[in-house]
């Protein structure tokens, strides 16, 4: 009898009953030993996959000392070069009617500066000024007040103006459109 109790305890520890079948819990499902095995296998595999992904994308470079300082210094040097090489050109003030329903008119007053990477591009910009102003005027007159609301509206406006000015001054390149003043009334 004592021998049977010891045998039963050994079988319970392995998750099997006396017949060699799996031991079931009260709800009729297998014990949690399979879940533990799955977790013990899946967790290390998942951690290795995450670590490999972080290593491949370069996220671990700064942690492991893989040249993070060198890249940071290069980025600072590149940024310093672009700041000193940038040239700004201010466009004349523009005042346009916005597209608004009803009898009430809405106006947009805007002053814009263009950022150029090369000072030699100013000549091309000045020779294309009538085309630039025309492109801006046509686009701005189709805007509604709702189009200019929030930071997303301003960002879309910046991107559209940048696209239009680059199309007008090609092969010269404008890198950014900077708003000096914007008034919607």
d(CA 21, CA 5): 18
Tell me if 103 is assigned to some domain: yes
Lowest mean pLDDT among 25-29, 52-56, 67-71, 101-105: 67-71
User: Mapping DSSP to helix (H, G, I), strand (E, B) and coil, where does residue 158 land?
Assistant: helix
Total domains, the chain = 1
Tell me if 138 is assigned to some domain: yes
List Cβ neighbours of 7 (8 Å cut-off, separation of 6 or more): 18
Residue with tokens 């492991």, as numbered in its chain: 64
Give the range of the structural domain holding residue 174, as residue numbers without chain letter: 86-184
Q: How confident is the model at residue 14 (pLDDT cuts 50, 70, 90)?
A: low
More confident residue, 156 or 11: 156
% of the chain at pLDDT higher than 70: 69
Summarize the confidence of residues 14-37 as an average pLDDT. 61
Tell me, rounded to whole angstroms, the distance of Cα 108 from its chain centroid: 30
89 pLDDT higher than 80: yes
Q: How confident is the model at residue 40 (pLDDT cuts 50, 70, 90)?
A: confident
Tell me if 168 is assigned to some domain: yes
185 pLDDT higher than 60: yes
pLDDT of residue 25: 56
Tell me if 117 is assigned to some domain: yes
Q: Count Cβ atoms within 10 A of the Cβ of residue 157 and give its class: 0-12 exposed, 13-18 middle, 19 or more buried.
A: buried
Structure confidence by residue, pLDDT tens digits, 98-156: 888 878 888 889 999 989 888 888 888 888 889 989 988 989 888 888 888 888 888 99
82 pLDDT higher than 70: no
30 in Cβ contact with 24 (< 8 Å): yes
Tell me if 119 is assigned to some domain: yes
Q: CATH code at 145?
A: 3.30.479.30
């Amino acid at each position: 009898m004592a021998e049977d109790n010891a045998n039963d305890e050994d079988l319970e520890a392995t998750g099997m009953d006396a017949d060699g079948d799996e031991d079931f819990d009260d709800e009729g499902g297998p014990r949690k030993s399979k879940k533990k095995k799955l977790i013990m296998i899946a967790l290390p595999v998942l951690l290795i996959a995450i670590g490999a992904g972080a290593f491949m994308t370069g996220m671990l470079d700064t942690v492991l000392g893989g040249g993070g300082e060198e890249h940071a210094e290069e980025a600072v040097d590149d940024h310093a070069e672009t700041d000193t090489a940038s040239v700004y050109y201010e466009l004349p003030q523009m005042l346009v009617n916005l597209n608004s329903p009803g009898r009430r008119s809405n106006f947009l007053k805007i002053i814009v500066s263009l950022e150029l990477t090369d000072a030699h591009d100013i000549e091309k910009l000045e020779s294309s000024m009538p085309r630039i102003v025309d492109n801006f005027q046509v686009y701005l007159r189709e805007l509604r007040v709702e189009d200019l609301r929030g930071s997303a509206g301003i960002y879309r406006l910046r991107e559209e103006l940048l696209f239009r000015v680059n199309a007008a001054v090609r092969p010269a390149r404008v890198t950014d459109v900077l708003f000096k003043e914007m008034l919607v009334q």
